[in-house]
Amino acid sequence: MMTSFFDQFMSPTYLGVPLMALAFILPWLLFPSPAPRWLNNRLLTLQSWFINRFTSQLLAPMNMGGHKWALILTSLMIFLITLNMLGLLPYTFTPTTQLSLNMGLAVPLWLATVLIGLRNQPTAALGHLLPEGTPGPLIPVLIIIETISLFIRPLALGVRLTANLTAGHLLMQLIATAAFVLLPLMPTVAGLTAIVLFLLTILEVAVAMIQAYVFVLLMSLYLQENV
């Protein structure tokens, strides 16, 4: 029974060929492309409004050097939201439940922010490893602790996204299985369980959007420290 619950997180294959690349390409095909007209339709207008609002809010506390990341961060945000939302559909696969994928997104972006800080302002970047006013005997210990916390950042990004989505999917499958089993035995309890499942699905929609936003927001905070 427990093995079947975790089967939904296995990477799909067809005739031995992994379909992970297809799961990456499909979301980009769903986005509406601008038309050569002066007035866009409602969907394009809503998409443009959302992108503009998100970009302005994300880049407001940064200086002009951080604005170069607007395209990367906005594209990553839309990509993660689309993957998370498509994963809530029945008989679909959620790539963001794979820790390897999330680490593959977190580590290069985090490393790029660190290298930018070391190139542009090496003194300030290294100064984050040692708080001001630290007593002399505690300097080696604090440098080690701050260095470890620095390298834990991409791991925390990947694990946070993976754990939240995996826990939500498992809980939804457990409650759905309970409602299916209880339906012929106790229809009233099964109905209440179905209501709980509906409310949990709404919560998971919010979690799918919030976790994508948190991932990009923390990446922007790391960038803000180094530009």
User: Residues with Cβ < 8 Å from 204, sequence gap 6 or more?
Assistant: 88, 168, 169, 172
- pLDDT reading at 3 higher than 60: no
Percent of the chain clearing pLDDT 90 (strictly above):
20
Assess contact for 52 and 44: CB atoms under 8 A: no
Q: State how far the Cα of 110 lies from the Cα of 149, in Å rounded to an integer.
A: 13
pLDDT confidence tier of residue 2, bands split at 50, 70 and 90:
very low
Taking alpha carbons only, the member of 94, 108, 56, 123 closest to residue 219 is 108
Q: Can you list the positions of beta strands (E) in the chain?
A: 13-14, 17-18
pLDDT confidence tier of residue 1, bands split at 50, 70 and 90:
very low
pLDDT confidence tier of residue 5, bands split at 50, 70 and 90:
low
Tens of pLDDT, residues 185-223: 888 888 899 999 999 999 999 999 999 999 999 998 888
Assess contact for 175 and 193: CB atoms under 8 A: yes
The domain ranges of the chain are 13-226
pLDDT confidence tier of residue 111, bands split at 50, 70 and 90:
very high
β-sheet bridge partners, residue 17: 14
Phi/psi of residue 14, each to 5°? -135, 115
Tens of pLDDT, residues 134-187: 777 877 888 888 888 889 999 999 999 999 998 888 888 889 888 888 888 888
By three-state DSSP, how is residue 10 classified? coil
Tens of pLDDT, residues 6-64: 666 677 677 777 777 777 777 777 777 766 776 677 777 888 888 888 888 888 887 77
Taking alpha carbons only, the member of 23, 26, 19, 31 closest to residue 78 is 31
- Give the residue-averaged pLDDT of 114-134: 80
Residue recorded with tokens 């297809």: 22
- Give the residue-averaged pLDDT of 119-144: 79
By three-state DSSP, how is residue 38 classified? coil
Report angle CA 32, 76, 198 to the nearest 5 degrees: 75
pLDDT confidence of residue 45: 80
Higher pLDDT, 115 or 64: 115
Neighbours of 207 (CB within 10 A): 18
Q: State how far the Cα of 135 lies from the Cα of 104, in Å rounded to an integer.
A: 38
Q: State how far the Cα of 66 lies from the Cα of 107, in Å rounded to an integer.
A: 18
Residue recorded with tokens 């809530």: 88
Taking alpha carbons only, the member of 20, 148, 5, 6 closest to residue 83 is 20
β-sheet bridge partners, residue 14: 17
pLDDT confidence of residue 4: 64
Mark 102-141 as b/e (b = at least 16 C-beta within 10 Å).
Answer: bbebbeebbebbbebbeeeeeeebeeeeeeeeeeeeeeee
Higher pLDDT, 22 or 110: 110
